């Protein structure tokens, strides 16, 4: 992704910056492998070469505590996205605005400071504003592939957060959990939010929406849902909080 100004943002104890070289990208790949519980020490794929990698570091120790990657797209290039491997996205190909795919978002498990997420999102907000992005999207993952642990969370998604039909992805992956069609339970809100992944929770708080099915990804040992966020739909109060950090 071409950017006019490199990302370099410091707030409090943390610094978010764009990866400067191959060593930075490898550090992110190693953190990803650890966070995702992979058998290999490095998580890498073909999307890494075409993406911009953002690192969040602890200023005191230099430790990498969070990372994610970004890929700028539009309707014509949407098939190049990571998500397009798993979701049929033809409905979104008519979207006229600039899109940004957020991928491989992870936080080192030993670091629980909520300021890490705040700085990560502040850096992302800077990119969105500067690049004129109108839709942010990605795959939001639940740990493991057993749906039983997340039934209240999926019921909550079905009741409140399934995306608009005009943009909704269709089924493409061979193994999916069609929760919107199958679940009829009333969600327990506390249980649902407790089991909701932090990244997805943030998307939803800003007005994001999800696909009507979850992909069962056995290779990554996750269940994931396509997640979209139209920037114009973010409540003004949320925008002010994010931009205050930039």
Does a structural domain hold residue 46?
A: no
Judge whether 26 lies within some domain.
Answer: no
Does 90 map to a domain? yes
pLDDT score at 101: 98
| CA–CA dist 137, 119 (Å, integer) | 19
Q: 133-143 and 98-107: which strand pairing?
A: parallel
Query: What is the extent of the structural domain holding 189?
Result: 68-244
User: CATH code at 144?
Assistant: 3.40.630
Residue 221 covered by a domain: yes
Is 62 part of any domain?
no
Percent of the chain's residues with pLDDT above 70 = 97
Q: What is the 3-state secondary structure (H, E, C) of the chain?
A: CCCCCCCEEEECCEEEEECCCHHHHHHHHHHHHHHCCCCCCCCCCHHHCCCEEEEEEECCCCCEEEEEEEEEECHHHHHHCCHHHCEECHHHHHCCCEEEEEEEEEECCCCCCHHHHHHHHHHHHHHHHHHCEEEEEEEEEEECCCHHHHHHHHHHHHHHCECCCCCCCEECCCCEECHHHHCCCCCCHHHHHHHCCHHHHHHHHCCCEECCCEEEECCCCEEEEEEEEEHHHCCHHHHHHHHHCC
What's the pLDDT score for residue 2?
Answer: 45
Q: Count the Cβ atoms, other than its own, within 10 Å of residue 29.
A: 21
Residue 173 lies in a domain: yes
Assess if residue 194 is contained within a domain.
yes
**Per-residue tens of pLDDT for the chain, all 246 residues:** 444 447 899 989 999 999 999 999 999 999 999 999 999 999 999 999 999 999 999 999 999 999 999 999 999 999 999 999 999 999 999 999 999 999 999 999 999 899 999 999 999 999 999 999 999 999 999 999 999 999 999 999 999 999 999 999 999 999 999 999 999 999 999 999 999 999 999 999 999 999 999 999 999 999 999 999 999 989 888 877 777 666
Quote the number of domains for the chain: 1
Please, what sign has the CA dihedral across residues 171, 104, 16, 6? negative
Residue 22 inside a domain? The answer is no
Average predicted confidence (pLDDT) for the chain? 94
From CA 238, how far away is CA 206, in angstroms rounded? Answer: 7
Q: pTM of the prediction?
A: 0.93
pLDDT value for 176: 98
Per-residue confidence (pLDDT) for residue 245, from 0 to 100: 65
pLDDT of the residue at 242: 72
């Amino acid at each position: 992704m071409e950017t006019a100004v490199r990302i370099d943002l410091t707030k409090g104890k943390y610094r978010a910056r764009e990866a400067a070289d191959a060593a930075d990208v490898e550090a992110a790949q190693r953190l990803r492998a650890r966070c995702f519980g992979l058998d290999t020490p490095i998580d890498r794929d073909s999307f890494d070469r075409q993406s911009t990698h953002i690192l969040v570091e602890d200023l005191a120790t230099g430790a990498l505590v969070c990372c994610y990657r970004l890929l700028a797209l539009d309707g014509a290039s949407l098939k190049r996205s990571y998500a397009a491997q798993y979701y049929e996205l033809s409905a979104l190909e008519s979207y006229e605005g600039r899109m940004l795919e957020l991928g491989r978002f992870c936080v080192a498990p030993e670091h629980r400071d909520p300021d890490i997420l705040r700085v990560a999102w502040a850096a992302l907000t800077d990119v969105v504003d500067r690049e004129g992005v109108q839709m942010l999207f990605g795959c939001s993952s639940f740990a493991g592939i057993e749906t039983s642990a997340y039934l209240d969370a999926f019921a909550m998604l079905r009741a409140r957060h399934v995306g608009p039909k005009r943009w909704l992805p269709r089924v493409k992956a061979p193994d999916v959990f069609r929760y919107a069609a199958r679940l009829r339970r009333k969600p327990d809100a506390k249980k649902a939010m407790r089991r909701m992944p932090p990244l997805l929770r943030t998307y939803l708080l800003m007005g994001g929406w999800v696909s009507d099915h979850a992909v069962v990804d056995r290779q990554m040992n996750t269940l994931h849902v396509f997640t979209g966020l139209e920037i114009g739909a973010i409540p003004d109060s949320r925008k002010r909080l994010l931009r205050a950090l930039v």
